[in-house]
Amino acid sequence: MNGPASCGLEFSVRDIVAEPYTAVPQLTARLRIEDGTGERIHAIVLRCQVRIEPQRRPYDRTEQDELRGLFGGRERWSGTLRPFLWMRCDTTVQGFTGSTETDLALPCSYDFDVVGSRYLHALGDGAVPLSLLFSGTVFTSGGGRAGFGVRQVPWDCEARYHLPVDVWRQVIASHFPHSGWIRLDHDVLADFARFRERRGLISWDETVRTLLSQAGGAAADDLDEVVQ
């Protein structure tokens, strides 16, 4: 979907790919920008909100169960399945006349406290419906005037794209192969550490598995004793 002509610019997403060699997990969106004013654009300081629109795709039974923590039971989805912000990002677009293509970095997080990460992790396959909302400042130059002109990119400029779930999995797997992480309160982490030492457990995986396998039994009682 392209941005409306009223903003003077039209945006579309040509592709979104996983970047395997970055310091942090990152997708890269290839944007096409078309300007219908005929002006020479010196640069665009471009800002973007990337939103996930969960109501625009179907979900199987397993996905519905996984998404219960975010949206509640299936009977509530008519009121809870609403677009939400995934990330904010920005870039500077080099000068052009008429049209150009540019890359927009989309940094990703695997933090399960982030709604977008929880949502994406719950999906089996298919695609993630995205909406990219643009704003920013356009600097124009040339023509019959000296100096620069300035105009704004309003928020009604947007583009939609269906991101394959496998592309997100690819970028996460390249940085967190066969693993993930969750953020814990410092006191809770200290309790886990004492429980691990008390039981003589070798790894954090073994510690968590021990607690899960004996939930409500001896392990929970031991942890309660440590906390006390």
Q: Is the pLDDT of residue 141 over 90?
A: no
Q: Using the CB atoms, write b or e for 18-30: b if 16+ within 10 Å.
A: bbeebeebbbbbe
Q: How far apart are CA 10 and CA 1, in angstroms?
A: 9
Tell me if 180 is assigned to some domain.
no
Task: Look up the domain containing 194 and give its range.
Answer: 186-227
> pLDDT tens across 114-126, in order?
788 889 989 999 9
87 pLDDT higher than 90: yes
202 and 164 housed in the same domain? no
Q: Using one digit for the tens of pLDDT, what is the confidence trace for 47-57?
A: 999 999 999 99
Record the pTM. Answer: 0.75
d(CA 179, CA 188): 21
Is residue 143 in a domain? yes
What residue spans of 133-217 are helical by DSSP H? 165-175, 186-199, 204-213
- Looking up residue 99, the CATH number of its domain turns out to be 2.60.40
Chosen domain end from 175, 195, 212: 175
Higher pLDDT residue, 102 or 25? 102
Q: How far apart are CA 218 and CA 212, in angstroms?
A: 11
Higher pLDDT, 194 or 223: 194
The verdict on 194 and 158 lying in the same domain is no
Residues 134, 221 within the same domain: no
Contact 116, 109 (CB under 8 A): yes
